[in-house]
Chain A
Amino acid sequence: MSIGSKDVLHVAGLAELDVPAAELQTLAEQMGRIVEYVAQLNAVPAGEQAAPFLVGSHAAPLRDDEVRPMPLAQGPEAIAPEFRDGFFLVPRLGTMEDE
């Protein structure tokens, strides 16, 4: 795939990076060479659904995503100004009063 100066300027904009005009042509050639080189990965048979790599997962498996009780040092009723039937009571908002 060929990369031109316009492509370099577009990507540089995305990366918030000034590129000197004098370097544009060389950068386009070098990026083109790199992208052409890494494009050989497309020759590797790996289906659409092939799993991506997750570093360190063999050693630090994620725990099951289960909800667990998180006991508080004090119950919410002890620290809330008002608490009733499992809910915090808060002042009614002015806009709601108007409605």
Chain B
Amino acid sequence: MSAVATIANVVGSGRTTAASAAREVTRLLAEADSRGLNATLHWSATNIAREAGAVDDRIRTGEANLPLAGVPVALKDNIVTTDAPTTCGSRILERYVSPFEATVVTRLRAAGALIAAKTNLDEFAMGSSTEHSAFGRVRHPMDSDLVPGGSSGGSAALVAAGVVPAALGSETGGSVLQPASFCGVVGVKPTYGRVSRYGLVAFGSSLDCISVFGRTVDDAARILAVISGLDPYDATTVDAPLPPAFVEARPLAGLRVGLPREYLPDDLHPGVRAGVDRAIARLRDLGATVVPVSLPHTAYAVPTYYVLAPAEAASNLARYDGARYGSRQPGPDGDLRGLYRATRGHGFGPEVRRRILVGTYVLSAGYYNAYYRKAQQVRNLLAADFTRAFREDRVDLLLTPTTPTPAFRAGEKTSDPVAMYLADIFVCGASLAGLPAMSLPAGRSDGLPVGVQLIAPAFGESQMLQVAAALEQVLPGDEETR
């Protein structure tokens, strides 16, 4: 039984209390802090105990339907809560406390979960290593010289370190799947529109998806089931059948899995390649058919993403001007524009400034058609590649590596932004197309986790999770791939 299921079961049935679960997660959070993981930005033993007390009261009064009773869940610190600051890893929002709560938080609490911590992230979710947090980089739980991936590196590290069984992150172009792969945990990005973004601080509005980390497929699936569904506060949510409340492995006979050749270049890291080969072999052992397919525009996914995401970020982050949110820095001349410029110049870190500048550039007169409009057209071609694979090649799922390499060393890519961007080369396609995808541990290369990615048609989470659950049973994440 998964950790989430076990905790919910023993707390919900009264065999132990949510207060006991709260004490345990508090101890583990303190231990993680003392190890220097730097995975959390805020947590409070008092708040966790208060939430646990409320859950225990609900159970005592006979409330039965608490699918996450006493389950500690960590939140990336770009998801707003009213009882803790939401900084987005930025000085510009230091000490900012939201006046309202995100829908996902309301749903988790209604299901009996304990909000354990707000986790560290690349500033405003812009990065692939969690080195761009204004509050220091997150350490990889297995080797502190390595990065945990990003931008949801704090959530991934906390799950991988065994502090919480599940955590929420946000995926704009790989920010959950890539750190899940680096840290050896499960990461699930739902279909665009599956989970409400009300209360998720906006970065790239046509891409952002609140997503889930779990130690196992079932852990992640149980959280996803609770947070999914139509929300009147988010007009982009869709009234689609919900993903399953728990996952059971399904037989794979008759399943067709596509293997896009563009995701398996000759220079792919041999350990990652070996992880994919293992997954292919296990799928075939289980009765699935694995066939080659082509997604011919794959090479353009990263450049498309790095036009569209900065453009949307430049627009979304215009609101941080010192007048309404967070910190304020007076300009040298005491005028309003000086206030805006000084506040933003001081408050944003280097990566955010860089992306705002690139985004403003590609949207500016004379460059809009050449960059932004062109990228929107190529995005359509990228999405059409996926549609063709699912409809014409008649594959149920796609299997790819999640990342081109295992976790890299801190500082290795910070001076070259394009090198850093390429860490997301296999994961930003699904985000651009709005499709559900997940990363599943596929073994280790020289001791470091490698993951494989499954991509499904829109709203195909149920099948994707069931196949992943079957694969998980025969693909131990802690075995060397070669």
Contact = CB atoms under 8 A, between A and B. Distances in A.
Residue in B207, B304, B337 whose Cβ sees the most chain A Cβ within 10 Å: B304
A27 B364 contact: no
A46 B459 CA distance: 28
A57 B458 CA distance: 11
B321 A8 contact: no
Contacts of B318: 15-16
Interface stretch (B62-70, B148-156, B369-377): B369-377
B457 to A, nearest CB: 10
B437 interface: no
Contact of B345 (A17, A30, A46, A50): A17
Nearest to A30: B417
Contacts of B238: 56, 59-60
Interface in B162-183: none
B376 A53 contact: yes
Residue in B297, B361, B421 whose Cβ sees the most chain A Cβ within 10 Å: B361
B207 A55 contact: yes
A17 to B, nearest CB: 5
Contacts of B97: none
Interface string A56-68: 1011100000000
A37 B304 CA distance: 10
B434 A46 contact: no
A55 B434 contact: yes
A7 B357 CA distance: 10
A11 B344 contact: no
B348 interface: yes
A41 B434 contact: no
Nearest to B304: A41
A19 B354 CA distance: 10
Contact of B300 (A11, A31, A44, A55): A44
Interface string B367-406: 0001101111111111100000000000000000000000
Residue in A18, A39, A53 whose Cβ sees the most chain B Cβ within 10 Å: A53
B342 interface: yes
A58 B300 contact: no
A14 interface: yes
Interface string A3-40: 10001100110111111100100010011011101111
B354 A27 contact: yes
B134 to A, nearest CB: 16
A52 interface: yes
B341 A52 contact: no
A51 interface: yes
B356 A18 contact: no
Nearest to B358: A34
A2 interface: no
Contacts of B345: 17-20
A74 interface: no
Contact of A15 (B307, B357, B371, B378): B357
Nearest to B379: A53
A37 B303 contact: yes
A95 interface: no
Contacts of B297: 44
Contact of A35 (B346, B358, B383): B358
Contacts of A3: 361
A31 B358 contact: yes
Given A15-B360, A38-B303, A33 B374 contact: no
Contacts of B375: 38, 41
Contacts of B383: 53
B192 A17 contact: no
A44 B344 CA distance: 36
B245 interface: no
B206 interface: yes
B42 interface: no
Contacts of B30: none
A59 B193 CA distance: 8
B380 A59 contact: no
Contacts of B114: none
A34 B306 contact: yes
30 contacts: A3-B361, A11-B360, A15-B344, A15-B359, A15-B360, A16-B341, A17-B344, A17-B353, A18-B345, A19-B345, A23-B350, A27-B354, A33-B416, A34-B358, A34-B417, A35-B362, A40-B300, A40-B303, A41-B307, A42-B374, A44-B300, A46-B377, A46-B378, A52-B376, A52-B377, A52-B379, A53-B376, A53-B383, A55-B192, A58-B434
Interface of B: 191-193, 206-207, 236, 238, 240, 297, 300, 303-304, 306-307, 314, 318, 321, 337, 340-342, 344-346, 348, 350, 353-354, 356-362, 364, 370-371, 373-383, 416-418, 421, 432, 434, 458-459
Interface of A: 3, 7-8, 11-12, 14-20, 23, 27, 30-31, 33-35, 37-42, 44, 46, 50-53, 55-56, 58-60
Given A41-B374, A52-B379, A55-B206, 10 more contacts: A7-B361, A11-B360, A18-B344, A23-B350, A34-B417, A37-B418, A38-B375, A52-B373, A53-B380, A55-B207
